[in-house]
């Protein structure tokens, strides 16, 4: 795809879906769009856009395709061990010493896809600090993914492979190769549609988990998101990102490195 065609595609996507591809890495997005056009059986973007504008179902498919979703409960078990054994206990201790012992934690899973990440956080809070009014927020740009998240599934059995048998029994209904999150804990997570680049963020989070999401953005967009995360965190709040991600010069954004993938608001 040449630059002129890409400019036209970006303009049309922004016009009909309000998704600004300017913030995404160009070569990566060009490859994805090219494969999508071929998969849909079209050789010409004008003809494709003319078609999707007459088909709400296919327009939704395009929107969902452009929001990249990879999800799994306890994905990267070592990193989740870090959250379970270190990060959440530290936040709970901070609440206790600050006179907030009876308050619940405020945690945000940004780019939550179909909900595996915020529900994993719900499992941990249910075990580490039960019977408290925790607020767990899951946000994503993909409406279809959010619908499945709110319903608690179905998740393919492979998506719960890292969940221990004890936790599977406690938190899931398993039907052949499908898993459904039990209704008793569904209400512990709030899901909202959100564009990380253009939308306002909620405030006063103790922990923001945003793993393998901003890697698809250009550096300027990444930096803006890190700044907005900083504003959304409480003092000494923690930002947890993907295992292959790093914030260069975190002090410039008001963070201090706090272990692998982890930054604390100064």
Does 34 lie in the same domain as 137?
no
Q: Which domain holds residue 108?
A: 77-265
Q: How many CB atoms lie within 10 A of CB 87?
A: 21
Q: Does 209 lie in the same domain as 150?
A: yes
Identify the CATH number of the domain in which residue 245 sits.
3.40.50.150
Split into its structural domains, the chain has a count of 2
Residues 186 and 107 placed together within one structural domain of the fold: yes
User: pLDDT averaged over the chain?
Assistant: 87
Tell which residue, 214, 244, 265, has the closest CA to residue 68: 214
Is 11 found in the same domain as 59? yes
Compute the distance between CA of residue 188 and CA of residue 186 in angstroms, rounded to an integer.
5
The predicted-structure confidence for 99-111, as pLDDT tens digits, reads as follows 666 679 999 999 9
| Residue 224: other Cβ atoms inside 10 A | 16
Do 164 and 113 lie in a common domain? yes
Round to whole Å and give the CA distance between 130 and 124.
9
Q: Are residues 41 and 142 in the same domain?
A: no
Boundary (domain end) residue, out of 33, 66, 99: 66
**Do 55 and 109 fall into the same domain?**
no
Using the 3D structure, point to which of 32, 66, 100 is the last residue of a domain: 66
Percent of the chain clearing pLDDT 90 (strictly above): 41
Give the three-class secondary structure for 92: helix
Residues with Cβ within 8 Å of 235's Cβ and at least 6 positions away in sequence, in order, are 265
In a 10 Å sphere around its CB, with 0-12 CB exposed, 13-18 middle and 19+ buried, how is residue 81 labelled? exposed
> Are 116 and 56 contained in the same domain?
no
User: In whole angstroms, what is the distance from residue 12 CA to residue 20 CA?
Assistant: 10
Residue 71 included in any domain: no
Assess whether 133 and 41 both reside in one domain: no
Answer yes or no: pTM beyond 0.85.
no
Cα angle: 110, vertex 112, 115; to 5 degrees? 145
Are 49 and 93 within one domain? no
Q: What is the pLDDT of residues 11-59, one digit of tens each?
A: 888 888 877 787 777 887 888 888 888 888 888 899 999 998 998 888 8
Q: Does residue 58 share a domain with residue 85?
A: no
Q: SS3 of 209, please?
A: strand
């Amino acid at each position: 795809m040449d630059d002129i065609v890409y400019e036209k595609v970006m303009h049309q996507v922004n016009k009909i879906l309000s998704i600004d591809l300017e913030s995404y890495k160009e070569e990566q997005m060009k490859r994805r769009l090219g494969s999508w056009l071929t998969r849909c059986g079209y050789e010409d973007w004008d003809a494709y856009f003319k078609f999707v504008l007459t088909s709400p179902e296919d327009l939704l498919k395009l929107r969902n395709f452009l929001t990249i979703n990879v999800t799994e409960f306890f994905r990267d078990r070592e990193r989740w061990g870090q959250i379970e054994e270190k990060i959440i206990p530290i936040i709970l201790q901070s609440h206790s010493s600050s006179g907030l012992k009876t308050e619940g934690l405020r945690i945000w899973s940004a780019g939550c896809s179909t909900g595996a990440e915020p529900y994993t956080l719900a499992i941990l809070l249910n075990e580490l600090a039960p019977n408290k009014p925790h607020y767990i927020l899951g946000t994503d740009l993909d409406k279809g993914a959010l619908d499945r998240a709110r319903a608690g599934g179905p998740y393919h059995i492979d998506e719960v492979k890292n969940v221990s048998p004890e936790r599977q029994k406690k938190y899931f209904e398993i039907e052949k190769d499908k898993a459904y999150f039990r209704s008793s804990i569904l209400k512990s997570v709030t899901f909202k549609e959100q564009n990380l680049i253009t939308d306002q963020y909620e405030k006063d989070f103790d922990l923001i988990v945003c793993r393998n999401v901003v890697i698809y953005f250009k550096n300027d967009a990444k930096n803006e998101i890190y700044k907005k995360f900083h504003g959304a965190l409480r003092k000494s709040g923690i930002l947890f990102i993907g295992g292959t991600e790093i914030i260069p010069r975190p002090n410039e954004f008001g963070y201090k490195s706090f272990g692998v993938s982890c930054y604390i608001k100064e």
